[in-house]
Amino acid sequence: MKWLELLTVGGATLVSAVTVVVLYSLGVRLTAIAGDQRAAAPAWLRSLAYTCFALCGLAVLFGLYLIIPYFSG
């Protein structure tokens, strides 16, 4: 068995999972800050939150592209 390839796949999986979770949680946090009525939050926070959600969605779609054999033909 090729252990280096197994470690490479495991490392890439760990990095991509952490990236998706961090992007989503950052998007949720920025949405909560931008929606706070008591604090005067800058308007760019909401667009930054939506950018985090979009990047998270793109990462998920890229993962699906890599997994589904129909697209890699």
Q: What is the mean pLDDT of each run of 10 residues along the chain (73 residues)?
A: 90 94 96 82 88 96 89 73
Long-range contacts for 64-68 (Cβ within 8 Å, ≥24 apart)?
A: none
Residue 29 is predicted with a pLDDT of 95
What is the token pair recorded at 49? 């939150």
CB count, 10 Å around CB of 72? 8
Q: Where are the alpha helices (DSSP H) in 1-73?
A: 3-34, 44-67
Residue 47 is predicted with a pLDDT of 92
CA–CA distance, 40 with 35 (Å, rounded to integer): 9
Residue 73 is predicted with a pLDDT of 67
